[in-house]
Chains A and B, each alone.
Chain A
């Protein structure tokens, strides 16, 4: 059909990061009768997967087993992971990382030529593959470059999906804005896979790139799909003050120490000891992220952290590793610390503080990536297939992109093959409605609210109410602030009315998504009256399996989220106390 009427495919992947590209390739290999498209708001190799540093987990060695990987993951999740899903995950992980090896990913190697594995937080054995400390970068480029060999994968680079098109209870594509000409067009498809990544930008201080604004979560939420377990937000214990740039957990996996202002390895005071010179799995600096981030706050309350212009911090000390190890295993950490805080970790400890890093929650899917809306699938950080539960273990996420990206790709491909041709008229109507909405909301309106103001106030409210430690009064206040911000958003004013590369319009669309996601996080957190994994409440300090061994599902309503619950699947690991 002519361009203004839009484009038509069998299967559309929204997002060109690790999950999206893996899904597209899996679909291409599933059937050569399918026309497949990938739409991405940035060129795929710019996607956030590019910044992942530390590694990707899979059972690769004789001293390891699928059950141990499963158990570590479930334990790390504080028993909120679905155990059938975790079992599928650990089983398919080794094949996926080897597949990526066959596609050219330059994994670091042992002298005998096998891929190397390193220790990571919360894991009982070495099972994290890595490509020095640029694992995500190499994985993304290997996937992207491999995707170029499939002629039938069509790309829409620098197109922004603004809404899902739903007709007669089924997804039939997306409405999307082409940044290069400012036109909103339908990209019709029989099946859509959302792979739009996380939403760290709902917080002021995050490791996440600017593009991580939760767009796909918001699109699904608006279409009536539930967002699952949104209250679980991972803080990473070691971000650079000011920028939030990540110092990878691999720096502790390789043997780095965390020290307070007295030079003391404080984690031993919180049941993670005893301190040893060499790293021991799941102890001290290799404890899980939720616990380490809470220890930081406790140290701060005891007055034992440093004070700096960007808040309190502790030291990540790598000096004892020596220049050779640092340059071989952690070159990017050295580069980043030198550039952004002017510190060379070979000679000085690095200042670090906890920083928002990862969304455990997301679009609720089943084990094959299918959502409750016919034709809609999701995978990657934007999805919640429930391997991470209440706390993700480092290096499980990159593997998740591969395993569940591939699963969603195959499932959506099979669905698309069976579905009859789409009807054009309703699609044209839906897109024309969407054009009107955008026009009125953003390009005609003469509101006076600034994007940056609303964004900043939202971020501060999130940090205050749903940060590392939470309580009812502050969460209620945050919900209320978010409600008011949503009202103010209706009066947003844009200076830019141009069609070509209007990044102000994109920022407004992203802010609209951020507000939706923030709302789901705050409301889900308020409703969960217990402490589990990353969700820590001072007013409900204990885990409460009787009431809350279940997933929360947030549904969008005009007055905020409506929260429902879904049982957790337990197969072989009954809940026990989570102690390291």
Chain B
């Protein structure tokens, strides 16, 4: 009795060898509890050791394994073969990014943008550790919690039509993270950070269709962060009421 198989069409690209990316077809055992990443690992271990891709945690939290699966950005460790049965399944590198090799994309651009939104607590005066924690009520935590759940998986960038057209756009996840710190009751950096966000959002024609939020595997809703950063006028007033030195 032969085992049931499923076909994967995987993008291959070797810089210096291939002028263009091409698709290579692999047949792998079909197992209902396998994810696309298991199939790729099977190929790498048993069929073709030269296939390159990133992965680590295999539990949807490290953010390494994002790829296009049948044209949609997905974490391959959370995309089950059974949902694509009987196949074939197309596996490509994340859209909108330069490809380093095969399924590996370049993150350089995002890493620079992340730093630009100053994703850390900014205080005028830091409280000494000996004085204990900043109090923060569960309600204050809930205000930003959702935006702190980003795993930097880049699926939202792969889905973003604006980033696709102009990679200068700072993009959904970076905006969501900047916004997260603005909403944190411990932070006093709103005045420094908000101009960066306003500019980032303002000049770009985000349609707010929310493709980014649709593909986000962690429910971050970056579209909401972008939209709310845009109405910064009202927000600015609101924040200046909350922050001790925000009004100056």
Contact = CB atoms under 8 A, between A and B. Distances in A.
B63 interface: yes
Interface in A444-489: 450-452
A146 B54 CA distance: 25
B127 interface: yes
A500 B14 contact: yes
B241 interface: no
A504 to B, nearest CB: 4
B202 interface: no
Contacts of A109: 136-138, 141
Interface string B24-60: 0000000001000000000011101110111111111
Contact of A500 (B15, B120, B149): B15
B145 A501 contact: no
Given A51-B61, A500-B16, A501-B100, A106 B141 contact: yes
Contacts of B133: 98, 101-102, 107, 114-115
A435 interface: no
Interface string B64-102: 100000000000001000000000000000000000111
A148 B126 CA distance: 17
Contacts of A180: 100
A514 interface: no
A116 to B, nearest CB: 9
A243 B38 CA distance: 10
A243 B58 contact: yes
Contacts of A148: 114-115, 119-120
A121 B182 CA distance: 37
Contact of B135 (A45, A50, A112): A112
A329 interface: no
A308 to B, nearest CB: 11
A47 B64 CA distance: 10
Given A98-B129, A102-B186, A104-B121, A46 B15 contact: no
A108 B187 CA distance: 17
B112 to A, nearest CB: 10
B61 A137 contact: yes
Q: Which of B49, B118, B138, B150: most chain A Cβ within 10 A?
A: B49
A157 interface: yes
A500 B101 CA distance: 7
Interface in A385-433: none
B214 interface: no
A141 B2 CA distance: 46
A500 B106 CA distance: 12
Contacts of B49: 451, 494-496, 504
Contact of A495 (B50, B62, B64, B177): B50
B56 A498 contact: no
A298 interface: no
Contact of A502 (B52, B57, B59, B140): B52
Given A103-B121, A148-B115, A46 B56 contact: yes
Given A148-B115, A242-B33, A503 B58 contact: no
A48 B54 CA distance: 14
Interface string B121-146: 10000110110111111101100110
B211 interface: no
Contact of A51 (B45, B59, B127): B59
A179 to B, nearest CB: 9
B135 A134 contact: no
B173 to A, nearest CB: 11
B30 to A, nearest CB: 15
A180 B98 CA distance: 13
A309 B186 CA distance: 49
A111 B140 CA distance: 10
B157 interface: no
B148 interface: yes
A101 B58 contact: no
A149 interface: yes
Interface in A326-369: 332, 335-336, 339-340
* 6 tightest A-B CB contacts, nearest first: A113-B135, A452-B45, A496-B50, A145-B119, A495-B49, A501-B101
Interface of A: 42-43, 45-48, 50-51, 95, 98-99, 101-104, 106-115, 134, 137-138, 141, 145-146, 148-149, 157, 180, 209-211, 242-243, 245, 332, 335-336, 339-340, 450-452, 494-496, 498, 500-504
Interface of B: 14-17, 33, 44-46, 48-50, 52-64, 78, 100-102, 104, 107, 111, 114-115, 118-121, 126-127, 129-130, 132-138, 140-141, 144-145, 148-152, 177, 181, 184, 186-187
